[in-house]
């Protein structure tokens, strides 16, 4: 009997421990417990170690953290009759555990089903282009609808994001062709604009090149004419000086000296191979002068005809190299006001001769 009583006592102790353990409840920090006893709601249970009456009391734990739920992809017809596959992501959080448990059987499934139907209605009122470009508007509308409807369930919809908008095959192919055509149109416009600008720049460059070439040719002609003028003036001055020297040297000569020179000239002319000789003066006068020279008749020297020599200033003044250089610098300054120095370097560098080279040529010619 003692053994039986001992066994019964041990069994009762184990049963009491098990029953007591069944009443132990541990609520996590992110959870909220609902205590129900004999079909009647008793109240909430805060996080921590709790003990309830076992067998007659049940505890429902609800997660109060933000949960992410995936709205399955579904085919939606847009306002312009374009079939499109759309799915979304919904972020929810339980703010009222009593409503989330007692007002709806499964608040997660209910929220996903409501998001599907609301998303179908929103996209059905929009065209495909609006769906593709206005996702923020869709997210805002869907969040407002879900938050308003789930408020009765004690659920807060924090955020909604459209994850993917995928038009069906024919619609996607048409969009691809449209995009390719649009890009080809933009490329053609850009190409035409580039060709237009290139033609304008080329014409402008040709115009400036022709202007510079004409200006260079004009300067070249001016410098060449100036050089020729100076050369002719210097040559005429040399001839005039030579004539003056001859005039000064021939002034003291008398008729006898002129007769001797004339006879020497006749001697040189007769020494040639010509069969005919034309004398540009009266030969009889020369013979009389020679006879007088032989007869030793002396005559006083006669002044050369013409009297005094002409003054030297009758030939005018000759411009110096400094004056020519000053004139050319003034011309260059006037050109520089119309055309920039950079353009002169880039366009006409290989087509025209510089002013310094032409001046050096004139100085070498002098």
pLDDT at 89 over 90: yes
| Of 220 and 302, more confident | 220
| 69 and 109 Cβ atoms separated by less than 8 Å | no
- How many whole angstroms separate alpha carbon 214 and alpha carbon 138? 69
- How many whole angstroms separate alpha carbon 30 and alpha carbon 46? 10
- How many whole angstroms separate alpha carbon 224 and alpha carbon 260? 47
Residue 81 CB partners (closer than 8 Å, separation 6+)? none
pLDDT at 357 over 70: no
Please tell me whether the overall predicted TM-score, pTM, comes out greater than 0.75 for this model. Answer: no
pLDDT at 90 over 50: yes
Confidence category of residue 189, pLDDT binned at 50, 70, 90 = very high
Which pairs from 331-340 meet CB under 8 Å and 24+ separation?
331/219, 331/222, 331/355, 335/215, 339/208, 339/211, 339/212, 339/215
pLDDT at residue 262, as a whole number: 67
Mean pLDDT on 8-31? 87
Confidence category of residue 307, pLDDT binned at 50, 70, 90 = very low
**Residue range 41-63, pLDDT digits in tens:** 888 888 888 888 888 888 999 99
| Of 186 and 256, more confident | 186
**Residue range 97-140, pLDDT digits in tens:** 999 999 898 999 999 999 999 999 999 888 888 888 888 899 99
Q: Which of 4-43 are b and which e, b meaning 16 or more Cβ less than 10 Å from the residue's Cβ?
A: eeeeeeeeeeeeeeeeeeeeebebeeebbbbbbeeeeeee
Positive or negative: CA dihedral 209, 211, 213, 219: negative
Best CATH choice for the domain 67-167 from the list 3.30.479.30, 3.30.470.20, 3.30.70.360, 3.50.50.60: 3.30.479.30
Which of 84-88, 227-231, 269-273 has the weakest average pLDDT? 269-273
Domain ranges of the chain: 2-63, 67-167
What dihedral do alpha carbons 246, 248, 249, 251 form, nearest 10°? 110
pLDDT at 362 over 70: no
- Mean pLDDT (the chain) is 78
pLDDT at residue 146, as a whole number: 92
Confidence category of residue 296, pLDDT binned at 50, 70, 90 = very low
Could you tell me what percentage of the chain is helix, strand and coil, using 3-state DSSP and rounding each to the nearest 5?
60, 15, 20
| 78 and 119 Cβ atoms separated by less than 8 Å | no
DSSP-assigned states of every residue in 242-306: HHHHHHHHHTT--HHHHHHHHHHHHHHHHTSS-S----SS-HHHHHHHHHHHHTT------PPTT
pLDDT at residue 299, as a whole number: 47
Which of 30-44, 107-121, 303-317 has the weakest average pLDDT? 303-317
């Amino acid at each position: 009997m003692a053994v039986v009583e001992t066994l019964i006592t041990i069994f009762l102790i184990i049963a009491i421990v098990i029953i007591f353990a069944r009443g132990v409840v541990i609520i996590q920090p992110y959870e909220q417990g609902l205590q129900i006893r004999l079909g009647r709601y008793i109240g909430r249970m805060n996080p921590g170690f709790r003990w309830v009456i076992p067998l007659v009391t049940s505890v429902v734990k609800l997660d109060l953290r933000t949960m992410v739920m995936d709205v399955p992809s579904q085919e939606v017809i847009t306002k312009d009759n374009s079939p499109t596959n759309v799915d979304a992501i919904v972020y929810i959080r339980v703010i009222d555990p009593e409503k989330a448990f007692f007002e709806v059987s499964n608040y997660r499934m209910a929220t996903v089903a409501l998001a599907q139907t609301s998303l179908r209605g929103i996209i059905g009122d929009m065209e495909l282009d609006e769906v593709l470009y206005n996702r923020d508007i869709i997210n805002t509308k869907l969040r407002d609808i879900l938050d308003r409807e789930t408020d009765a369930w004690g659920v807060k919809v924090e955020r909604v994001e459209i994850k993917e908008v995928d038009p069906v095959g024919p619609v996607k192919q048409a969009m691809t062709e449209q995009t390719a055509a649009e890009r080809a149109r933009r490329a053609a416009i850009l190409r035409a604009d580039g060709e237009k600008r290139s033609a304008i720049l080329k014409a402008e460059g040709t115009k400036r090149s022709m202007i510079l070439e004409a200006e260079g040719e004009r300067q070249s002609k001016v410098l060449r004419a100036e050089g020729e003028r100076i050369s002719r003036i210097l040559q005429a001055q040399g001839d005039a000086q030579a004539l003056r020297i001859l005039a000064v040297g021939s002034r003291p000569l008398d008729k006898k000296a002129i007769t001797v020179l004339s006879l020497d000239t006749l001697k040189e002319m007769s020494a040639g191979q010509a069969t005919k000789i034309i004398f540009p003066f009266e030969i009889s006068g020369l013979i009389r002068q020679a006879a007088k020279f032989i007869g030793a008749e002396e005559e006083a020297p006669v002044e050369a005809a013409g009297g005094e020599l002409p003054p030297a200033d009758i030939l005018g003044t000759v411009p110096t190299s400094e004056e020519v250089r000053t004139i050319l610098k003034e011309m260059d300054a006037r050109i520089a006001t119309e055309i920039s120095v950079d353009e002169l370097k880039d366009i006409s560098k290989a087509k025209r001769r510089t002013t310094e080279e032409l001046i050096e040529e004139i100085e070498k010619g002098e």
